[in-house]
């Protein structure tokens, strides 16, 4: 597999495209929004500049990486004659099902269809296609160029041949693939999201403040980033979406999202992407005023 298509030029999509291109794959980066494509390429270029500055790669490698990426706004053109498509669109089940139905209709019969979903059932996605044996999950971690882990998620009908091919492909990206089965949240988010949710509950109940909670987890549990800061980094809307998928999938109240998280997302306080979440990224201070506004009285 040398020809790859990535659908979605957002944070995860441009990171996946960057990683494949840097490892000498030909990448078609696809997004219906041309502005998003330009922004995605700018992000890749900036990240490559940092790597050159830190002497991780050479200037020649940077230019070669950028030359390996082509951009498309038309799905039909971008997925023509590729060996693997990786969908990295919004974490919304309806959007993903629609995309995979289109991919199945357009792609060559040998093309493997992968999704970067962090929680949605691979089996459900695969059921919209006529090739469920060739549908698989590749859950990359953010930031993709730096993080080693890739969760490889087998749907109910994913073949051994496809699973083995994607495991080997991930190793060629200098990643560490870990095979997991298809249950809501898989492994990473099934463990991470309840921890983040409980941290938000701890804040919601007035046990401690934002910085205090994050400091306890960083210094006491050796986490590189506190759970509230990590939630801001992931995106509070994404955290809410994943928790809802897990709650719907397991029908277990322990996965029910905290009311504070729900209200912050409703108010547009999404974390880094909106400039404010549990922290205020405009002033680099705690956004305690935001938390208190939606906490219990």
Same domain, 44 and 84: yes
Query: Minimum mean pLDDT among 24-28, 119-123, 142-146, 290-294: which range?
Result: 290-294
> Which carries the bigger pLDDT value, residue 296 or residue 186?
186
Same domain, 209 and 101: no
CA distances (Å), origin 159, targets 78, 152, 186, 199, 216: 25, 13, 18, 39, 44
List the catalytic residues.
118, 139, 151, 189
Residue-wise pLDDT for 118-174, tens only, equals: 999 999 999 999 999 999 999 999 999 999 999 999 999 999 999 999 999 999 999
In the block, which residue shows the tokens 């498509």? 85
CB atoms within 10 A of CB 116: 24
- Give the C-alpha separation, 49 to 57, whole Å: 9
Q: Could you tell me the CATH number of the domain that includes residue 200?
A: 1.10.1040.10
Residue 237 annotated as lining a ligand binding site: no
Residue 232 annotated as lining a ligand binding site: no
Same domain, 164 and 216: no
Q: Phi/psi at 120 (nearest 5 deg)? A: -80, 140
Same domain, 79 and 96: yes
Residue 11 annotated as lining a ligand binding site: yes
- Give the C-alpha separation, 175 to 166, whole Å: 11
Last residue of a domain, one of 147, 181, 215: 181
Residue 297 lies in a domain: no
Residue 26 annotated as lining a ligand binding site: no
Task: Give the DSSP H or E segment for 188.
Answer: helix 188-204
Q: Phi/psi at 72 (nearest 5 deg)? A: -145, 145
Domain assignment of residue 257, given as a range: 190-292
Residue-wise pLDDT for 63-72, tens only, equals: 999 999 999 9
Same domain, 174 and 33: yes
β-strands 69-72, 84-87: how paired?
unpaired
- Give the C-alpha separation, 188 to 241, whole Å: 15
């Amino acid at each position: 597999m040398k020809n790859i298509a990535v659908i979605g030029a957002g944070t995860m999509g441009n990171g996946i495209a960057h990683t494949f291109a840097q490892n000498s794959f030909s990448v078609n980066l696809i997004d219906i929004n041309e502005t998003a494509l330009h922004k995605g390429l700018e992000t890749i270029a900036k990240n490559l500049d940092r790597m050159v500055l830190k002497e991780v790669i050479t200037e020649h490698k940077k230019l070669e990486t950028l030359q390996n990426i082509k951009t498309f706004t038309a799905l039909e053109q971008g997925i023509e004659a590729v060996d693997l498509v990786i969908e990295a669109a919004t974490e919304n089940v309806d959007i993903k099902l629609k995309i995979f139905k289109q991919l199945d209709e357009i792609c060559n019969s040998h093309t493997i269809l992968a999704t970067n979903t962090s929680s949605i059932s691979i089996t459900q996605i695969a059921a919209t296609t006529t090739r469920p044996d060739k549908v698989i999950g590749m859950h990359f971690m953010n930031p993709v160029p730096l993080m080693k882990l890739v969760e490889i998620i087998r749907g109910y009908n994913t073949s051994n041949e496809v699973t083995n091919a994607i495991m080997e492909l991930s190793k060629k990206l200098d990643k560490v693939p870990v095979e997991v089965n298809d249950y809501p949240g898989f492994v990473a988010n099934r463990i991470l999201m309840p921890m983040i949710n409980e941290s938000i509950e701890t804040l919601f109940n007035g046990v401690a403040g934002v910085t205090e909670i994050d400091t306890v987890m960083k210094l006491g549990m050796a986490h590189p980033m506190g759970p509230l800061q990590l939630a801001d980094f992931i995106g509070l809307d994404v955290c809410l979406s994943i928790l809802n998928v897990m709650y719907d999938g397991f029908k277990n109240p322990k996965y029910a999202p905290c009311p504070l998280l729900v209200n912050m997302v409703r108010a547009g306080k999404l974390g880094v992407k909106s400039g404010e979440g549990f922290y205020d990224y405009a002033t680099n201070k705690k956004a305690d005023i935001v938390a208190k506004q939606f906490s219990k009285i």
